[in-house]
Structure 1
Amino acid sequence: MAVGKRTFTKAEREKLAEVLWLLNWVSVLMGAILFGLGLFLKVEIQKWQEVMSGPGILYVPNMLISTGLAACCINFLGGKICLDCADSNRFLRWKLVLMPYVVCTFCFTTCVLGGALMCYGIRSHLEDSLLLGLQNAMRFYKDTDTPGRCYLKKTVDMLQIQFQCCGNAGYRDWFQVQWISNRYLDMTSSSVVDRLRSNIGGQFLQDSVPFSCCSPASPRPCIQTQLRDASKHFNYGQRSQQLNQWGVGCRLALMDHYTGILQTIGFTVMLIWLFELLVLTGVRYLQTAMEDVLRLGDPDLDSSGWILESSFTVSVIKNLGKCYNGDQDPNINTPPTATQNEVPSQHQIPAST
C-alpha cells in the first residue's frame, strides 16, 4: 500500500497546481531570505576573522548562501512547472522533468535542514576557534612593524572597546604575554634588563593591560600598570579594580554575540525548512496524481496521489522481514547434511560382484 495515498478530482488537481504555483513564488522569496541571512552571517564573521583560528565557521554561511541561490533557481522553475501541470496536455512537456525537479527539491530541502542544524551545533567549534585565535592575536599584539601582523593591535583594541571586554578569558591574560614591543623599551634601564632576564623566554612581562581594557565607567583615571599591587595606587581597592578594567573576557563576549546571531538565523532557517517541506509534499502529490491521470487515459477522471509508491514500501517491509526472520532462523550457520551435498554420479562404476 502506498504511503499517504489520497484521491484527487480534476478540480482538486487544478487547485493544487495553482496553490503550488503561488507557494513556489513564495519559496523564491524564502530563498532570497536564506541568501541574505548567509551573507549577513558571513560579513559578521569576517569582521573579527583576524581573532579566529583558521577559516572559523565560514562554511555555515557559505552553505546558506549556496542553498538560498539553489532555492531561488529551483522554485522559479517549479512555479512554471506547477502552473502547466493544471492541464494534462501541458503536463506532457514536463513529464520527464518533474521527477528530477522533485529530487532536486528534496536535496536542497535537506540542505536547508542541515544549515539550520549547523547553526545550533557550531558552538564548540566556534569557541575553540576563538580561544586559539585570541591567544595568537594577543601574542602578536606588539608586532606593529611585522608584515601580516601590523593590523592586529588595531583589531584587538577595537574589539575590546566595542564589546567592552579585556583579554581572552579576562584582563589577567595580558600578564602572561609581552604586549609592548622592544622598540619602546629602554634597554639602558636596569629594571627593564632585569625583568627581561628574569622572565621565561626573555619576555617583558608585567601586570599591565592595554588602554583599550579601561572602562570609561571608572570614577578615576585609567590604571594600566601594577594592577596586582594595590599599594602602588592611592585608594585602589578590589571594587575600584573591577570598575577600572572590563571584567568580561573577549572570548565570552564574542561567543554571546555570535550565539545570538546563530540562534536567530537557525530558527528562521528551520521555519523556511518547514515551509519547503510543505511545498515538496504538495509537488509530490501533484506529480503522482498527474502520472495516474496519464495511466487512466481520461483527464476528467479521479486520480490517486501518494508520497511513496507501494512497490517501494513493500520492498522495505520485505527487507525488514528478512532481517527479522533471519536472526531467528534455526538453520542459519547449520552445515548441510551429506544427502544435500552428495549427488550420485550418472557415470558411477557399479560395484563388482
Structure 2
Amino acid sequence: MVLLKMKFTQQRRVRLAQGLWLLSWLAVMCGTFVFCLGVYLKTELLRRDEVMDNAEIHVVPNILMMVGLASIGTNWVASRVCQDSLDASRFPRWKAFLLAWFVVATLLCFLLVAVVVLSYALQGRLEESLKVGLRNGIRFYKDTDVPGRCFQKETIDRLQMEFRCCGNNNFKDWFEVQWVSNRYLDFTSKDVKDRIRSNVDGRYLLDGVPFSCCNPASPRPCLMYSLTDNGAHHSYDYQSEELNLHSRGCRQALIDYYMGLMNSTGPGVLSVILIQMSVILSLRYLQTAVEAAMALEDPEGDSEGYILEKGLKETFEDLKVKALILLKFGQVNPDAEESPEAADAEKAADNTTEKAAATPSS
C-alpha cells in the first residue's frame, strides 16, 4: 500500500518546485544559523577552558558546526534539484543521487535532535568539569611565576568580576588555600610566621578574599581581610550583616550561563528540524511525481506522488532483507558444488580405505 499518495497536475508540480526552492534556501540560512551558533558556543567554552577539566561538553558545539555545514550543502543541492525537476533532459541525472541525499538529510535531523537531548543531559558533566577546574584555578591563583599558570590569577579575577561571583561554591573557598604568593610575604613578620606555623601544611591562610570578589553595588567599602573577625571592623557583625562580597559561587554562575546558552539553542534547533523535514517530504513528493510523469511519457500530464512506495511495515521488512543480504555478501555458499579436484581426491581416499579393510591381518 502506497503511503500518503497525492495527485499532481503539471501546475501543482510547478508550484511545488517553486515553493521547495524557496524552502530549501530558507533551510540553507537555517544551516548557517546552526553553524554560527556552534561557533559561538565553542568560542565561549574555549574562553573558559582554563577553569574546565573535561572536554566532553564540546561535543554539543562540534555537532552543531558539523550539522550546520552539512545542512548548507544538502539544501543547496535540493535547490538545484528543484530547478532541474521540470526539465526532462536534466532531472534523470539526479535520480541515483537522491537516495543518498535523503539518507544524509534524515541523519542531520536525528543529529539535531541529539543536540537538544545532549544540551540537557550534559549538565552534570558540565558541573563536575567546572567544579574541578575552578578548584584548580583557585589553588594555582598565586603561581604567577610558574610557566603554564602565570595567567591563572588574571583569569580568575576577570571571571569573578564578569560573572559577579566569588570562589567555587562561595567566598569561603578562599579561606582553604594560600592565594598570596610567597614572594609578597614578609617572613620576618611575626604575623606571617604565626599563620604559617599554625597550619599543618605550612601554608599562609587568610580569612580574606581577592579584590575581584568585592561587590561594587554594596554601599560599604570593600572588606577583603579579617572577614570572620567582628572586632577588626567598626560596626560589623560577621554572622548577621550581609557581606559586601558576591554571594554566588562561580561554578553556579557559569552553569547558569552555559546552560542558558545551550537551552536557548533548543527552540532554534527544533525550528530547523521542522524546516528540514519539510524539505525532505516536499522533495520526495516532487521526485516521485516527476518520475511518474516521465514514466507515462507525458511530462505535462497528471501524475501521482507519494512518500513511500509501500507501507511502513513492508518498507521495514524490505530494508531488513537488504541488510541481511549485504551482511552475507561475499560469504561462501555451503550448498555450492565441489571442485573436480576435490571430488577426485575424496574418491581416491575412499578406495584406499576399502583396500585396507579387505586385506587380512598376518
TM-score relative to the length of structure 1: 0.84
Number of residues paired by the alignment? 320
Q: Distance in 2 between matches of 1:257 and 1:312?
A: 43
How many angstroms does 1:164 deviate by?
1.0
**Residues 60-118 of structure 1: CA deviation (Å, up to 9, x unaligned):** 11211121111111111210112211233321122112222222221222222222332
Identify the residue that residue 25 of structure 2 maps to in structure 1.
Answer: 25
How many angstroms does 1:131 deviate by?
0.9
Identify the residue that residue 328 of structure 1 maps to in structure 2.
Answer: none
Identify the residue that residue 237 of structure 2 maps to in structure 1.
Answer: 237
Residue identity opposite 2:183 in structure 1 = R
Q: Which runs of 5+ in 2 are unaligned?
A: 321-362
Identity %: 44
Contact 1:56–1:129 (Cα < 8 Å) also in 2: no
Q: How does 1:59-78 map to 2 (within 5 A)?
A: 59-78=59-78
1:7 alignment partner, SS class: strand
Q: 1:90 to 1:247 in 2, by over 3 A?
A: same
Q: Distance in 1 between matches of 2:296 and 2:137?
A: 71
Residue identity opposite 1:141 in structure 2 = Y
Residue identity opposite 1:146 in structure 2 = V
How many angstroms does 1:54 deviate by?
2.9
Q: How does 1:175-324 map to 2 (within 5 A)?
A: 175-238=175-238, 241-310=241-310, 313-314=313-314, 316=316
Residue identity opposite 2:191 in structure 1 = S
Q: Distance in 1 between matches of 2:130 and 2:303?
A: 58
**Residues 113-153 of structure 1: CA deviation (Å, up to 9, x unaligned):** 22233233332221111111111100100100011111010
Identify the residue that residue 136 of structure 2 maps to in structure 1.
Answer: 136
Q: Distance in 1 between matches of 2:200 and 2:62?
A: 43
Q: 1:149 to 1:240 in 2, by over 3 A?
A: farther
After alignment, is 83-92 or 73-82 more displaced?
83-92
Q: Distance in 1 between matches of 2:149 and 2:118?
A: 31
**Alignment RMSD, CA only?**
2.3
The yes-or-no answer on 1:151 pairing with 2:156 is: no
Q: Which runs of 5+ in 1 are unaligned?
A: 321-353
Residue identity opposite 1:151 in structure 2 = F
Identify the residue that residue 100 of structure 2 maps to in structure 1.
Answer: 100
Q: Distance in 1 between matches of 2:72 and 2:124?
A: 32
Identify the residue that residue 172 of structure 2 maps to in structure 1.
Answer: 172
1:244 alignment partner, SS class: coil
Residue identity opposite 2:113 in structure 1 = L
Q: How does 1:10-89 map to 2 (within 5 A)?
A: 10-55=10-55, 57-89=57-89
After alignment, is 233-242 or 117-126 more displaced?
233-242
Residue identity opposite 2:134 in structure 1 = L
How many angstroms does 1:239 deviate by?
7.8
**Residues 248-304 of structure 1: CA deviation (Å, up to 9, x unaligned):** 111111112122221212221111111111111111222222333344343344333
Q: Distance in 2 between matches of 1:185 and 1:166?
A: 23
2:54 alignment partner, SS class: coil
Residue identity opposite 1:105 in structure 2 = A
The yes-or-no answer on 1:3 pairing with 2:3 is: yes
After alignment, is 175-184 or 142-151 more displaced?
175-184
